[in-house]
Structure 1
Amino acid sequence: MNVFLSIVIVISTIVVMECVSWCIHKYLFHGPLWFMHKSHHEKSHSFFEWNDLFALLFAGLSLYLMFIDKDVFGYRFFIGLGISVYGVIYFIIHDWFVHRRFKTFKSDNGYLKAVRKAHKIHHKNQGKEKSRAFGLLFVRKDLLNS
């Protein structure tokens, strides 16, 4: 597979993962999988939460896709790589920057501040119902200008 197409697949997968994550978060995490996701909306008493198991699920899918295409570096390999890159971005932005699991990442960047604000809007409601702002990377325009 040529390099340009591989890069397009990885970038497209990252964009699709943001959309899929939004839908999964809204309709599954705040729906039938709330019993696991609610640990993310409660005060944490340890470094790990039940919600972290979702990251392991996506990591497993990513590794599986890369493994089955490792010999030919086909499209599935690059979809898996895109899922992995999204996971790293998610970890850095969501866990490290927004939730401050590590206290080392601060920024005055307007976009990152908007991401944090959107997530605070999401967490303002501690319950399963009536939450807003389910995404991570796509931020409403009004939050960027505030």
Structure 2
Amino acid sequence: MTILGPVLIVIATVAAMEFVAYATHRWIMHGPLGWGWHESHHEAHDDDHGIFEKNDLYAVVFTILSIGLFAIGSAWWPPLWWIAVGMAVYGVLYFIVHDGLVHQRWPFRHVPRRGYLRRLYQAHRLHHAVEGRDDCVSFGFLYAPPVDGLKADLKRSGVLAKRASAHRDAWNPETQDRI
């Protein structure tokens, strides 16, 4: 096999993993079966929380799947080994973009000011603008739909109005205290 075949397999796998991640995020993580792990990702964290959250178990599951494909591919069918490489590359990109750039889980902070990384950052922040698992937008990790469309979707769903109303109702402007 020439180098072109493995490179194409890796690239195709990285692209396919974005679809797998989107589907897993939307229908498993935000569904009744997976919310138990993923909910920790949508909660506010304090300094006592530590560096890990229950949601990180999803990364462990995908890592185990990738290791299994490495084993099967090296023993029986080499293309599976290259698919495992693509899964691992996607995992590294996910760690850099999602955990690092978007959620600032690195020891340093960087908020992109323009370009695609800014759009990706904003789209994921809009995903977290919703409390709970329902009515969220933007379920991809490396692809971000246009931010204006996501804002329109949130406005159309009414979830932002409900959130603003809840915050307004929980605040007494006369005493500046929570009710």
Q: TM-score normalized by structure 2?
A: 0.75
Counterparts of 2:147 and 2:23, CA distance in 1: 21
- Mapping for residues 1-146 of structure 1, pairs under 5 Å: 1-31=1-31, 32-44=33-45, 45-70=49-74, 74-104=78-108, 106=110, 107-142=112-147
* TM-fit CA distance, 1:102: 0.9
| Most deviating of 67-76 and 89-98 | 67-76
* TM-fit CA distance, 1:127: 0.3
Counterparts of 1:105 and 1:7, CA distance in 2: 33
**8 A contact 2:14–2:89 mirrored in 1:** yes
* TM-fit CA distance, 1:71: 5.3
**8 A contact 2:66–2:84 mirrored in 1:** yes
* One-letter amino acid of the structure 2 residue matched with residue 34 of structure 1: W
Structure 1 regions of 5+ residues with no counterpart?
A: none
Question: In structure 1, the residue corresponding to 2:128 is in which secondary structure?
Answer: helix
Change in Cα spacing, 1:109 to 1:48, as seen in structure 2 (3 Å) is: same
* TM-fit CA distance, 1:72: 7.0
Question: In structure 2, the residue corresponding to 1:69 is in which secondary structure?
Answer: helix
Q: TM-score normalized by structure 1?
A: 0.91
Q: Which has the higher relative contact order, 1 or 2, with Cα contacts under 8 A spaced 6 or more apart?
A: 1
Structure 2 regions of 5+ residues with no counterpart?
A: 149-179
Counterparts of 2:126 and 2:42, CA distance in 1: 12
Q: Deviations over 1:67-125 (max 9, x none)?
A: 22225771100000000000000000000111001143524351111111000010001
Identity %: 38
* TM-fit CA distance, 1:139: 1.7
* One-letter amino acid of the structure 2 residue matched with residue 134 of structure 1: F
Change in Cα spacing, 1:8 to 1:108, as seen in structure 2 (3 Å) is: same
* One-letter amino acid of the structure 2 residue matched with residue 38 of structure 1: E
* One-letter amino acid of the structure 1 residue matched with residue 58 of structure 2: F
Give RMSD over aligned pairs. Answer: 1.6
* TM-fit CA distance, 1:66: 1.0
